[in-house]
Structure formats: C-alpha cells, structure tokens
Amino acid sequence: MSEFCGSLHPFLISEVRRLSLTDIRGLGIGTTQQAKAVADHRVRRKLLAPVGETRFQVPDALRKQFADAASTTSEQATEQVTPQVLALLDHAIGEMSRQSLSAALGLKDRKHFVDAYLQPALDAGLVAMTVPDKPRSSRQRYRLTERGQALLAGQQDKDKAPCFNPRPTSSTGR
C-alpha cells in the first residue's frame, strides 16, 4: 500500500475513485506502457481494481483508510497556533476590547489585527466573545477560553524549561 501511496497524497487517494493511465503518467511515469506496468503491479497488490483496459478504481477500503489519515492530518494541523495568536493570548488580561488588545500588542492596523490575531484565535476556540450574539457591539469584549488558558499555561511551562547551552563558558572572563 505504501508504494502506491508514496506517489499520491492521502487526501487525493481519499477523493479519487477512478484513475486512467494518463492520471498515472501524470505522477511522473514516462510512457503509457510504463504506466500500464505500474497499474498492473498495483492491481496484483490489490491497490487498484481494473475497470477497463486503461481505467482503474481505488478500492473503497483503501479510500476510507486514507480519508481517515487525511482527516487526522488536518486535525493535527489545526492544533498548531501561530506566533501572532500566542502573542494575543499572552497579552489578554481578563475581558478586553478589540482596541485594548490591539494596543497591548502595539498594533495600529485594525484589519491586520483582526485577520492575523483575533479571528484565528476565535476560530481555534482560544478566545471567546462576551457578547457572541452581537459581534459588532460597542460593548464587545474578548476573554481567554479554558482552552486558551491551558495552551498559554503549557507555553509558559515550555518557556520556563531549562535550556542546554551548547557554548562552553570561558573561564578567562572574555
């Protein structure tokens, strides 16, 4: 399975139902004859099922397996937090307005602050609105969620961890 998979991204396998020899050639196989040999090998290994002379189908079990792998990969990617979001979490104290948060970070451009800092934090569930029904309310404030507080606490623990300094200190005082 991994031989065939090395040529295709898991998301692609999970979405593709049928392949032609032309599709296989598109993976970097030089000639149609070589593509046919590759396809026949995959058929023998039960990674493809023949549908016709030049068309092949990815078995449903294989597609499902790769769909699960693709969703796991995307879930892991969403767990990553940008440095901008971490900075926002670090500067959030209690309930703060958008203007207060932006000023605490030293930012003046509202659109940049919302696009790069606030919206990603809201989307990740790290920050919540105090008036969620009225996102544009003049009384809108933002606060850290439990998830945001946990992430921030974990980040601070990493910062406190002792570091190994690979440079030896000089005893000559230089």
Q: Is residue 130 part of a domain?
A: yes
Q: Single out the residue of 34, 60, 58 nearest to residue 47, CA to CA.
A: 58
Residues 119 and 129 sit within 8 Å (Cβ to Cβ): no
Last residue of a domain, one of 77, 95, 117: 77
In b/e form, how buried is each residue of 50-79, taking b as 16+ CB within 10 angstroms? eeeebebbbeeebbebbeeebeeeeeeeee
Same domain, 35 and 88: no
4: pLDDT strictly greater than 50 = no
**Phi, psi at residue 94, to the nearest 5°?**
65, -135
pTM: 0.48
11: pLDDT strictly greater than 50 = no
Domain range holding 134?
A: 83-160
Last residue of a domain, one of 77, 95, 122: 77
| Mean pLDDT calculated for residue range 166-173 | 48
**Phi, psi at residue 57, to the nearest 5°?**
-120, 140
Same domain, 135 and 152: yes
